[in-house]
Amino acid sequence: MLEASGIHVSYGPIKAVRDVSIAVGEGEIVALLGPNGAGKSSLIGAIVGMVAKAKGTVRFAGEDIGALSVEAIVRRGITLTPEGRRVFADLTVGENLRLGAASRRDKQGVADDIEKYLAMFPILRARFNALARMLSGGEQQMLAIARSLMSRPKLLMLDEPSLGLAPRIVDQIFELLTQLRADGLTMLVVEQNVHEALAFADRAYVVASGKLVFAGTAAELQASGDVMEMYLGLEGT
């Protein structure tokens, strides 16, 4: 479904991503792991056209999307939920959800999807008319995910969905992602929370200092003591 090849991202003299290639197949859940500053956000930003000076090839469903605008990429079916639970703080929950569907023209479909996600995220129904700024961190993250889903992505990319959330809330977020997976959604998830991510993902990539240092199944990564220890600061199984 997604094939990013030979991606390079530089910020002036800083080489944030160096010749990294990753792929995501339809229906797969892929984790992108690595220490702070490894280049994970830069890599996924390059894929969705948000990093201006990226080099490399990005193909989605067979089409070269490298030169497309962010909006055109969203219309093709890739949506990124950025790090930091970015919601429109001064808009209500309902307005945030409708904005997620800004690229759609099917009014009834949008109304049906709002209903679908309010059923899936009951806390958002309870807070439907509240300003997003009044929500807790976990609720804002759920809103950020639900808003991304409103564009009907084929591939949902999530940048650190569990960042800064209490363990109980992290579990809730992963439960929701598991439901979405059961619906057949393809996902690429950037995570610091390695154990949760590997329990959830089919495959994983590890980047460190801008380079790809591991590609394999989640089970292979868990069994790879060296990678787990050297790059993720954890013991393998």
Give yes or no for residue 11 binding ligand ATP (CB under 6 A). Answer: yes
Considering only residues 41-80, where is the footprint of ligand ATP by CB under 6 A?
41-42
Give yes or no for residue 138 binding ligand ATP (CB under 6 A). Answer: no
Interface with ligand ATP: number of residues (CB under 6 A): 11
Using CB atoms within 10 Å of the CB of residue 113, give its burial: 0 to 12 exposed, 13 to 18 middle, 19+ buried. Answer: buried
**b/e map of 204-231 (b: 16 or more CB within 10 Å)?**
bbbbbebebbbbeebeebbebeebbeeb
Instruction: State in angstroms the smallest separation of the CB of 85 from ligand ATP.
Output: 14
Considering only residues 188-207, where is the footprint of ligand ATP by CB under 6 A?
none
Q: Which residue lies nearer to ligand ATP by CB, 7 or 218?
A: 7
Name 204's bridge partners. 31, 216
Q: Which residue lies nearer to ligand ATP by CB, 41 or 186?
A: 41
Which residues, at least 6 apart from 122, have a Cβ–Cβ distance to it below 8 Å? none
- 62 Ramachandran zone, left/alpha/beta (phi>0; psi -120 to 50): left
Name 11's bridge partners. 14
Q: Which residue lies nearer to ligand ATP by CB, 35 or 94?
A: 35
Give yes or no for residue 161 binding ligand ATP (CB under 6 A). Answer: no
Give yes or no for residue 84 binding ligand ATP (CB under 6 A). Answer: no
Distance CA 231, CA 237 (A): 15
Instruction: State in angstroms the smallest separation of the CB of 11 from ligand ATP.
Output: 3
Residue recorded with tokens 């056209």: 49
Distance CA 237, CA 226 (A): 11
Give yes or no for residue 16 binding ligand ATP (CB under 6 A). Answer: yes
Phi, psi of 207 (to 5 degrees): -115, 145
Window 19-48: contact mask with ligand ATP (x via CB under 6 A)? ---------------x-xxxxxxx------
Give yes or no for residue 7 binding ligand ATP (CB under 6 A). Answer: no
Instruction: State in angstroms the smallest separation of the CB of 200 from ligand ATP.
Output: 18
Would you tell me which residues interact with ligand ATP (CB under 6 A)?
11, 14, 16, 34, 36-42
